[in-house]
Amino acid sequence: MLRESYLACERGILGALAMAVFLVAWEGLARGWWADLLQPALGTAANVLRIRPIFLASPSAIAEMAFQMYFVTGEIWPHLGLSAFEFVVGFLIAASIGIPLGLVAGRYRLLSYAVEPLLAALNATPQVALLPLVVLWMGTGLPARIFIIVLLMIVPILINSHAAVRTIDPKWLRLARSFSASEWRLFRTIVLPAAVPFLLAGVRLAIGRGMIGIVVGEIYGSAVGVGVMINQAGSTFQTTRVFVGILTIVVAGLVLSEVVRRIERRVEVWRPSTSADS
Amino acid sequence: MSAPMSMGLSKARPMPSVRLSERAQRQLVGAGTVVALLLLWEGVVASGLVDPLYISSPSRILRVAIDQFGSGAIWPDIRVSSIEFLVGYVAAILVGIPLGLMIGWSRRLNYLLGPFIDILNAVPRVTFLPLLILWFGIGMNSKFAVVFMGAVIPIVIATHAGVRANEARFIRVARSFSASEWKIMTAIILPGTVPFLFAGLKYGAGRALLGVVVGEIYASTAGVGHMIVEAGNLFDTDTVFFGVLLFMAAGVAVTTILNRIERHFDAWRPRGLAQ
Amino acid sequence: MYWNRRAVRPTHRAAMAAFGAMLALSGPTGAARADELIPFKVAISTPVVSILPVFLAADGGFYKKQSLDVDIISTEGGTKGMQVLLSGEIQAMHVGLSPVVAANAQGAEVRAIASTTNTLPISLFSAKKLTPPLPKGTTIGISTLGSETDIALTIALKALGLARSDMQINQIGGTSQRFAAMSAGRIEAAPLLEPGTTAARQKGFTEVYDLSAAKTPWIFDAVVVTTDYAKDHADAIQRFLKAYVEGAYWGMANPDKAKEVISRRFKTKDPAVIDSTYNEFKRLMPRDARPSVEGSANVIKQLASTGLKLRSEKVEDYVDLGPIDALEKSGFIAEMQRQYAVQ
Is B134 in contact with C1 (Cβ distance < 8 A)? no
B98: in domain = yes
Does C50 lie in the same domain as C198? no
Question: Tell me, what's the pLDDT at A167?
Answer: 81
Q: Which range of residues forms the domain containing residue B154? A: 62-268
Question: Tell me, what's the pLDDT at C7?
Answer: 36
Is A159 in contact with B114 (Cβ distance < 8 A)? no
Question: What percent of chain B is predicted at pLDDT more than 90?
Answer: 53
B196: in domain = yes
Does A19 lie in the same domain as A127? no
| Higher pLDDT, residue C114 or C185 | C114
**Contact indicator for C232, C262 with CB cutoff of 8 Å:** no
Does A43 lie in the same domain as A85? no
Question: Tell me, what's the pLDDT at A247?
Answer: 93
Question: Tell me, what's the pLDDT at B268?
Answer: 57
SS (H, E, C) A41-87: HHHHHHHHHCCCCCCCCCHHHHHHHHHHHHHHCCCHHHHHHHHHHHH
Q: How many residues does chain C have?
A: 343
Does C295 lie in the same domain as C239? yes
For residue A277, name the pLDDT band (cuts at 50, 70, 90): very low
- Average pLDDT of the segment spanning C77-104: 91
Question: Tell me, what's the pLDDT at C336?
Answer: 93
Does A140 lie in the same domain as A108? yes
Question: Tell me, what's the pLDDT at A140?
Answer: 76
B232: in domain = yes
Residue A275 confidence (pLDDT) above 60: no
Is C103 in contact with A136 (Cβ distance < 8 A)? no
B48: in domain = no
Strand partners, C140: C169, C189
For residue A87, name the pLDDT band (cuts at 50, 70, 90): very high
Is A54 in contact with C80 (Cβ distance < 8 A)? no
C56: in domain = yes
Domain count, chain B: 1
**Which of A215, A213, C22, A214 is closest to B89 using CA atoms?**
C22
Chain A nearest-CA distance from B129, in A, is: 9
Domain count, chain C: 2
For residue A221, name the pLDDT band (cuts at 50, 70, 90): low
**Which of B4, B35, B7 is closest to B157 using CA atoms?**
B7
Residue A20 confidence (pLDDT) above 80: yes
Q: Hey, what long-range contacts does B74-81 have (CB within 8 A, 24 or more apart)? A: B74/B224, B74/B227, B74/B246, B76/B222, B77/B222, B77/B223, B77/B224, B77/B226, B77/B227, B78/B224, B78/B246, B79/C25, B80/B140, B80/B222, B80/B223, B80/B224, B80/B226, B81/B212, B81/B216, B81/B223, B81/B224, B81/B225, B81/B250
Does A254 lie in the same domain as A137? yes
Question: Tell me, what's the pLDDT at B168?
Answer: 62
Which residues are within 8 A (CB) of A234 and not within 5 positions of it... i.e. 6 or more apart? A242, B130, B131, B133, B134, C83
Least confident stretch, A5-19, A142-156, C89-103, C285-299? A5-19
Whether the CB of A268 is below 8 Å from some CB of chain B: the reply is no
Does A20 lie in the same domain as A79? no
Question: Tell me, what's the pLDDT at C22?
Answer: 44
A278: in domain = no
Residue A77 confidence (pLDDT) above 50: yes
Does A100 lie in the same domain as A213? yes
Whether the CB of B76 is below 8 Å from some CB of chain C: the reply is no
For residue A154, name the pLDDT band (cuts at 50, 70, 90): very high
Does A117 lie in the same domain as A21? no
B9: in domain = no
- Average pLDDT of the segment spanning A191-220: 87
C24: in domain = no
- Closest residue in A to B3 (Cα) is A163
For residue C76, name the pLDDT band (cuts at 50, 70, 90): confident
Using CB atoms, list chains with 3+ pairs below 8 Å to chain A.
B, C
Does A24 lie in the same domain as A121? no
- Average pLDDT of the segment spanning A49-59: 87
A203: in domain = yes
- Find residues 163-222 of chain C whose CB sits inside 8 Å of chain A: 165, 168-171, 186
Whether the CB of C157 is below 8 Å from some CB of chain A: the reply is no
For residue A222, name the pLDDT band (cuts at 50, 70, 90): low
Last residue of a domain, one of C173, C194, C214: C214
C20: in domain = no
Q: Mean pLDDT score of chain C, rounded to an integer?
A: 85
Does C115 lie in the same domain as C127? no
- Average pLDDT of the segment spanning C131-157: 84
Chain C nearest-CA distance from B104, in A, is: 22
CATH code of the domain in which B236 resides: 1.10.3720.10
CATH code of the domain in which C252 resides: 3.40.190.10
Does C335 lie in the same domain as C235? yes
Q: Which of A24-38, A222-236, B142-156, C289-303 has the highest mean pLDDT?
A: B142-156
Q: Mean pLDDT score of chain B, rounded to an integer?
A: 85
Does C145 lie in the same domain as C202? yes
Does C271 lie in the same domain as C326? yes
The rounded radius of gyration (Å) of the Cα atoms in chain A is 25
Collect all residues of chain A within an 8 Å Cβ-Cβ radius of residue B135.
55
Question: What percent of chain C is predicted at pLDDT more than 70?
Answer: 89
Question: Tell me, what's the pLDDT at B156?
Answer: 95
**Contact indicator for A134, A144 with CB cutoff of 8 Å:** yes
Q: Which range of residues forms the domain containing residue C242? A: 38-120+217-340
Domain count, chain A: 2
Question: Would you give the distance in Å from CA A181 to the centre of its chain?
Answer: 39
Residue A23 confidence (pLDDT) above 90: yes
Which residues are within 8 A (CB) of C177 and not within 5 positions of it... i.e. 6 or more apart? B230, B233, B234, C46, C76, C141
B130: in domain = yes
Does C231 lie in the same domain as C102? yes
Least confident stretch, B2-11, B55-64, B224-233? B2-11
Does A81 lie in the same domain as A12? no
| HSE (side-chain half, CA atoms, 13 Å) at C193 | 32
Is A237 in contact with C165 (Cβ distance < 8 A)? no
- Closest residue in A to C144 (Cα) is A235
C14: in domain = no
Residue B75 confidence (pLDDT) above 70: yes
Is C172 in contact with B219 (Cβ distance < 8 A)? no
Residues B105-122, buried b or exposed e (16+ Cβ, 10 A)? Answer: beeeebbbbbbebbbbbb
Collect all residues of chain B within an 8 Å Cβ-Cβ radius of residue C185.
235
Is C139 in contact with A139 (Cβ distance < 8 A)? yes
B8: in domain = no
B39: in domain = no
pLDDT tens figures, C2-34:
333 333 333 344 444 444 444 444 434 433 444
C11: in domain = no
Chain B nearest-CA distance from A57, in A, is: 11
Chains A, B: CB contacts under 8 A, how many? 213
pLDDT tens figures, B94-135:
999 999 999 988 888 999 999 999 999 988 999 999 999 999
Does C314 lie in the same domain as C242? yes
For chain A, helix (H) and strand (E) counts, in that order, are: 13, 0
Question: Would you give the distance in Å from CA B1 to the centre of its chain?
Answer: 15
Residue B274 confidence (pLDDT) above 60: no
Q: pTM to 2 decimals? A: 0.83
Residue B264 confidence (pLDDT) above 50: yes
- Average pLDDT of the segment spanning C163-184: 84
Residue A177 confidence (pLDDT) above 90: no
For residue B63, name the pLDDT band (cuts at 50, 70, 90): very high
Question: Tell me, what's the pLDDT at B20?
Answer: 58
- Average pLDDT of the segment spanning C210-226: 90
Residue A81 confidence (pLDDT) above 80: yes
Residue C95 confidence (pLDDT) above 50: yes
Does C156 lie in the same domain as C68? no
For residue B223, name the pLDDT band (cuts at 50, 70, 90): very high
| Higher pLDDT, residue A156 or C24 | A156
A78: in domain = yes
Most B CBs within 10 A among C87, C110, C170, hence the mutation to make, goes to: C87
Residues B255-270, buried b or exposed e (16+ Cβ, 10 A)? Answer: bebbeebbebbeebbe
C318: in domain = yes
Is B115 in contact with A219 (Cβ distance < 8 A)? no
Does A7 lie in the same domain as A118? no
The CB density around residue A190, as the number of other CB atoms within 10 Å, is 18
Question: Tell me, what's the pLDDT at B184?
Answer: 75
Question: Tell me, what's the pLDDT at C131?
Answer: 65
| Higher pLDDT, residue C176 or A97 | A97
Q: What are the residue ranges of helices labelled H in chain C?
A: 5-30, 52-59, 62-65, 78-87, 97-105, 148-159, 175-184, 196-203, 227-232, 234-253, 255-265, 271-284, 293-305, 322-329, 332-340
Question: What percent of chain C is predicted at pLDDT more than 90?
Answer: 50
Does A115 lie in the same domain as A18? no
CATH code of the domain in which A111 resides: 1.10.3720.10
Q: Which range of residues forms the domain containing residue A44? A: 2-51
C86: in domain = yes
